Amino acid sequence: MSEKWVQTWGQAHSALSFFYYPPCPKTYRMVVSSAISGKMIRLELSNEYAVNDVKIGALTVANCDENGSFCGTYKALTVNGQTSFIIKKGEIVKTDPVDFSVEVDGYFCVSAYVEEGALRSGNLIDNVGLITAKGNVTAQQSVVNERRPRDTVREIASKVLGMYFHKPIPLFQSVELLNETGATAITVFGDSISQQGYWTNAFTERIRKEYNGRYSVINKSIMGNRIRLDFSPRFIAKGLFGISGLNRLQRDVLNYDDTEYVVFALGTNDFLQYGTISAPRSEKPTAKQALDAVVSVSDRLQEKGKKMIVFNVLHFGSTPDSNAEKVAILKEYNRLLEENKGKFYAVYDQASLCLNPEKPDCSKDEYLGRDKLHPNKKGGQVVADAIDLGLFR
């Protein structure tokens, strides 16, 4: 088979807002369990949502154990041949390829020493490990994580809001391997329901067992993200919810030739956010507007030979921001998706799967977290287990 660059890990960047990392000479070591093999590696580093330039003093990669301790020697990564470089605010850079062997299910780590600048661009994603330590320890075999006060704030926010906020992963945007076995990527393109990892991680585990070495599952979901509209400037955490699905499709999916399937799981926030502190009532959508936007995404993907599996929207009638009008729009959208399923590779009816028969506007409480919107681990497993893996055969 021919050689091809394939993502083994990636994320969609938005503004980290109050989750950001203040300026401090610090090493960020990301630990990845690879679903695919490769003989070379390259990275994308993003400073897209920063207000300052960032200086990278050193960047290394090494095979490691699950705790991020080197197994053997490390290799230096460069940008335009330089081991130390500046990433300007708003800029995305790609490292030079380097020979580096990774086996299926093997662990490796990338370590970036951020010498200057705050890290404000990234995501709160839960499918990799992140170790942070002061100073340049990119060449150190084992690194002990240094907890920061903001971790406590994040954990308290998770309890108060009833939603799991993961440790933010800054700077890193994608990790690609030069693969020789015909592997491709499945990209999950969603909002916080996908971002928090309960169904996506369970789905990833199923894919890795069923198609060992064949697919990597790349979670490019952003909390609060909408299909049609960017984040509302009225929201206090400006930029955290990211630009719209329509506007980020090129950056997060179409820029990568490796993506074979796209699992599209947006829509909840289009119908639920308007008229709240997150977005004004004037941003109320119609079900038809949402459907037309999803069809346009599918058309763009099909032009590039990519297949789109659309998730309909879980019922959210138990949430504080819900009302009869919003529930009606959701139901109409789900109905239109079913009627127009021929426009997509597949439509997955998670809403019926999780429906509470005693409260037809709601999902089952046993599947939901405290906020009555996001699935808990049980709900995530139910959604993941019912996905037909034959779609990816």
Q: What is the pLDDT of residues 84-126, one digit of tens each?
A: 999 999 999 999 999 999 999 999 999 999 999 999 999 999 8
The total domain count for the chain is 2
Q: Are residues 377 and 348 in the same domain?
A: yes
Q: Are residues 154 and 191 in the same domain?
A: no
* Angle value at C-alpha 390, between 343 and 183, nearest 5 degrees: 95
Q: Are residues 151 and 203 in the same domain?
A: no
Residue 5, Cβ density class (10 Å: 0-12 exposed, 13-18 middle, ≥19 buried):
middle
In a domain, 84, yes or no: yes
351 closest CA partner among 309, 314, 310, 388? 314
Q: Are residues 244 and 366 in the same domain?
A: yes
Q: Are residues 223 and 309 in the same domain?
A: yes
Residues 315-374 pLDDT 10s: 999 999 999 999 999 999 999 999 999 999 999 999 999 999 999 999 999 999 999 999
Q: Are residues 78 and 129 in the same domain?
A: yes
In a domain, 278, yes or no: yes
In a domain, 178, yes or no: no
Task: Tell me the CA distances in angstroms from 150 to 32, 117, 123, 128, 155, one per residue in order.
Answer: 23, 17, 15, 19, 9
In a domain, 117, yes or no: yes
Q: Are residues 160 and 196 in the same domain?
A: no
In a domain, 368, yes or no: yes
144 closest CA partner among 135, 125, 157, 131? 131
Q: Are residues 216 and 274 in the same domain?
A: yes
In a domain, 176, yes or no: no
Question: What is the reported pTM?
Answer: 0.96
- By residue range, what is the domain housing residue 279? 183-392
In a domain, 321, yes or no: yes
Distance CA 387, CA 354 (A): 13
Domain boundary among the residues 118, 146, 170 is at 170
Q: Are residues 361 and 221 in the same domain?
A: yes
Q: Are residues 145 and 13 in the same domain?
A: yes
Split at pLDDT 50, 70, 90, the class of 164 is: low
204: left (phi over 0), alpha (psi -120 to 50) or beta: alpha
Q: Are residues 149 and 36 in the same domain?
A: yes
Split at pLDDT 50, 70, 90, the class of 1 is: low
pLDDT (0 to 100) of residue 195? 96
Note the residue count of the chain: 393
Q: Are residues 165 and 187 in the same domain?
A: no
**CATH label of the domain that carries residue 280:** 3.40.50.1110
Token duo for residue 210 = 């069923």
- Given a contact cutoff of 8 angstroms between Cβ atoms, the answer to whether 54 and 119 are in contact is yes
Domain boundary among the residues 135, 170, 205 is at 170
CA 116: distance to chain centroid?
A: 26
Domain boundary among the residues 128, 148, 170 is at 170
Specify the residue for token string 């400006």.
238
In a domain, 177, yes or no: no
